[in-house]
Amino acid sequence: MRMYDIIDKKKRAASLTDDEINFAVDGFVGGKIPDYQMSALLMAIWFNGLDKRELTTLTTAMAHSGDMIDLSAIDGLKVDKHSTGGVGDKTTLIVAPIVAACGGKVAKMSGRGLGHTGGTVDKLESIPGYRTELTRQEFFDTVNNCGLSLIGQSGNLAPADKKLYALRDVTATVDSLPLIASSIMSKKLAAGSDCILLDVKTGSGAFMKTLDDAIALAETMVAIGEGAGRRTVALITDMDTPLGYGIGNSIEVAESMDVLKGRGAHDLTAVSIELAANMLYLVGKGTLDDCRKLVEKSIADGSAFETFCKMVKAQGGDDSVLRDYDNFDKAPFSREIFADGDGFVAKMNAELLGKVSVMLGAGRETKDSPIDFSAGIVLRKKFGDEVHAGDSLATLYASNEKLFVAAEENFRAAIELGDKPETRPLIFARVEAGHVERF
């Protein structure tokens, strides 16, 4: 078998055999197939797509390229959650302890921030002492004792995806539905949970800018999950504006704790309740309505918050910062951004706001740059809010005052004042195997 012939076949939009797909993935991971040939195949897939069987074979080959994690040492059904990436998307910190407090098990490996989107692992590391690297046994013990554990992705989880993603990033082949679906689902299948809830974002801050594309991606990923024997549901949620008011690591941890304490931002709370209810539904805790009630109760009685604190302590973290946010290290500098006119917030470019938070130090400019956990943005106005000249639009936080110049300029470019905009739904659709419900 020759890689040349496989590339040529896909270039002509023919279907690849299972053997050909496995040959390409194994050869690439093993270093026998060079980047330039794999790049050509990725571009051929970008143009000509993959059919259902090819996609299943590719995803399975990618999942099996590294460790397939066996979670059977954890009692009960395990449920995982994946967001396709967003700005201010801190829902994992909220839904995982809620699900655990309601009797579900969450053994979750999360990623770091990349580009304009934040990552759960960076947010967790803003909690002093918190360990995102545990041994396999410590990970299992924490889930068995606390109902959840949130850790970083092990180095050998779907290495094919790691290598392919790096290549896609530099060959303009990231925005391909089959390549995104296989990338995400290979990691989810390898991570071992019985059930998977996918949060597929749509809007200006998301990979999938339109609702139809987001639904198509969700349907494809749900079919892959179910085909591999995992109960899988997807919600399509809005990422046209950031979720909640905070963007930045410790800022987002504090805002998440506010939701768990029952005093969270409306949009963040509403999306989190729906995500958590769907996770509980997947592990058999009743109808969606029953599950929503369980979620609300766990917030009202404080059990979700206490569950999170218990996990943080079990992983070496200082939970005093969660009880009193003043215990977090504070950014030494802040700048208030005031409105220079009247109107309504008619547009908020989520992607650009994510970039502003990176400029302030909250994210990485390159893979290995250090992170300033205290840096970021607290929005004072959100999409649809009325604004008068002189009102504060946001507070920026940084450890270096010079960063405010470019950050303020870009912040202003991200916000448009105008006529009162039409409200956008927070949740557009729900996708279960063979069924799409639009709201």
Interface characters, 152-191, with ligand URA (x: CB under 6 A) = -------------x--------x----xx--xx-------
Q: Catalytic: which of 39, 65, 126, 183?
A: 183
Token pair of 230, please? 């995992």
Contact between 196 and ligand URA by CB under 6 A: the answer reads no
Separation between Cα atoms, residue 149 and residue 140, nearest integer Å: 8
Token pair of 73, please? 């040492």
Contact between 217 and ligand URA by CB under 6 A: the answer reads no
Separation between Cα atoms, residue 375 and residue 360, nearest integer Å: 6
Catalytic residue flag (residue 2):
no
Catalytic residue flag (residue 64):
no
Least CB distance from residue 305 to ligand URA, whole Å? 29
Q: In the bound complex, which residue of the shown chain has the CB atom lying closest to ligand URA? A: 183
Catalytic residue flag (residue 35):
no
Separation between Cα atoms, residue 433 and residue 195, nearest integer Å: 13
Contact between 206 and ligand URA by CB under 6 A: the answer reads no
Contact between 307 and ligand URA by CB under 6 A: the answer reads no
Separation between Cα atoms, residue 438 and residue 240, nearest integer Å: 18
Helices in 102-149 by DSSP H: which ranges?
A: 120-125, 136-146
Nearer to ligand URA, 165 or 333 (CB): 165
Q: How far is CA 190 from the centre of its chain?
A: 17
Contact between 350 and ligand URA by CB under 6 A: the answer reads no
Angstrom CA distances, 320 to 68, 266, 310, stand at 36, 25, 11
Determine the angle formed by the axes of helices 3-11 and 35-48, rounding to 10 degrees.
20
Question: Which residues ranging from 401 to 430 are in contact with ligand URA (CB under 6 A)?
Answer: none
Catalytic residue flag (residue 183):
yes
# binding residues, ligand URA (CB under 6 A): 9
Nearer to ligand URA, 165 or 344 (CB): 165
Separation between Cα atoms, residue 340 and residue 392, nearest integer Å: 10
- In order, the DSSP letters of 219-274 are HHHHHHHHHTT-EEEEEEEE-SS-SSSEESHHHHHHHHHHHHTT---HHHHHHHHH
Interface characters, 85-124, with ligand URA (x: CB under 6 A) = x---------------------------------------
Catalytic residue flag (residue 162):
no
Nearer to ligand URA, 165 or 325 (CB): 165
Least CB distance from residue 169 to ligand URA, whole Å? 9
Contacts with ligand URA by CB under 6 A lie at: 84-85, 165, 174, 179-180, 183-184, 207
Enumerate the active-site residues. 82, 161, 168, 183, 187
